[in-house]
């Protein structure tokens, strides 16, 4: 088994997630210890942080071991490998919408802060429907407008907190 075949089986996303967990834990632990070394301050955070870092390390090592063994299995099953590739291509196509949807959600939250609740909600709903494959744009626009206005009116009626709007 060549070195490159192992590399192609590695899922950098998973390793990235483990790195995020470890790094966030280290930063949090550093921040906690710089605040104070008092037992009350570290009684839970210190042991829990050390355990998380240890578990992430164990998970990373076992991940590399699994990847190595899976690579050899895939090499032995060429046809099955091709079928998996077709299926995963379909999956990739489907999943490609997810990051776009996430970005749209992020823009929506920013819109709530910097634009207005009703307008941002309308735009989010309209573009989300379009992204989800809604071909009837007029119907989509009407649905988005009615829901955005109804929810904003309901929120205005219900909560005492101020929030920016265009219509209410």
Partner 1 sequence: MIDFVALGSAFDILLGSWQPWLVVIPGLFIGLIFGAIPGLSIPVAMAVFLPLTVYMDFLPAVLFLTAIFTGGGFGSGIPAILMNIPGTASAVGTAFDGYPMAQQGKHSQALGIALTSSTVGCAIGYIVLMLFVNSMAEAVLKLGPVEMFLVAAWGLTLIAALGSNDFSKGLIAGLMGVLISAIGMSGTGEIRGTMGFIYLLDGVPAVPALIGLFAASELFRLIGQNYIVSDAEKRRISFGQILVGVQATFRYPGILIRGSFIGVLVGAIPGVGASVANLISYSATKRRSDTPEAFGKGEPGGVVAAESANSSSEGGSMATLLALGLPGGAATAVMLSAFEMHNITGGSRFMSENLDIVYSIILGNFAQVILLFIIGLGFVFVASSVVRVPLNYLIPTVFVLAIFGSFSLTGNMVGPITVFVFSLIGWLMRRYDYPVAAMVIGLLLGKMAEGELIRSYQISGGEISFLLQRPIALVISALLVLSIVLPIIKGHRKRKAAQIAAISI
Say if residue 115 is exposed, middle or buried (CB neighbours under 10 Å; 0-12, 13-18, 19+).
middle
Closer residue to partner 1 (CB): 1 or 84: 84
CB of 156 to partner 1, least distance (A): 11
Please, what is the minimum distance in Å from the beta carbon of residue 54 to partner 1? 10
Q: How far is the CB of 123 from partner 1 (least distance, A)?
A: 11
Q: Which residues are within 8 A (CB) of 134 and not within 5 positions of it... i.e. 6 or more apart? A: 140
Find the shortest distance in angstroms from Cβ 24 to partner 1: 8
Q: Which two tokens stand for residue 145?
A: 């407008």
DSSP readout, 5-36?
HHHHH--HHHHHHHHHHHHHHHHHHHHHHHH-
Listed in sequence order, the DSSP H helices in 10-116 are 12-35, 39-42, 45-76, 78-95, 97-114
Positions in the binding site for partner 1 (CB under 8 A): 11, 13-14, 17, 21, 24-25, 27-28, 31-32, 35-36, 38-41, 43-45, 48-49, 51-52, 55-56, 58-59, 62, 94-95, 97-98, 101-102, 105-106, 108-109, 112-113, 121, 124-125, 128-129, 132-134, 143, 147-148, 151, 155, 158-159, 161, 163
């Amino acid at each position: 088994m060549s070195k490159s075949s192992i590399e192609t089986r590695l899922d950098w996303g998973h390793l990235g997630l483990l790195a995020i967990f470890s790094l966030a834990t280290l930063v949090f632990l550093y921040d906690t210890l710089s605040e104070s070394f008092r037992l009350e301050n570290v009684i839970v955070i210190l042991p829990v942080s050390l355990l998380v870092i240890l578990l992430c390390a164990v998970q990373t090592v076992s991940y590399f071991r699994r990847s190595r063994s899976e690579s050899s299995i895939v090499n032995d099953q060429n046809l099955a490998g091709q079928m998996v590739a077709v299926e995963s291509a379909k999956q990739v196509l489907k999943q490609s919408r997810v990051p776009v949807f996430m970005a749209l959600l992020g823009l929506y939250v920013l819109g709530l802060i910097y634009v207005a609740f009703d307008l941002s909600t309308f735009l989010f709903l309209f573009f989300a429907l379009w992204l989800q494959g809604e071909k009837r744009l007029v119907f989509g626009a009407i649905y988005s407008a009615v829901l955005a206005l109804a929810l904003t009116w309901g929120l205005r009626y219900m909560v005492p907190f101020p929030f920016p709007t265009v219509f209410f």
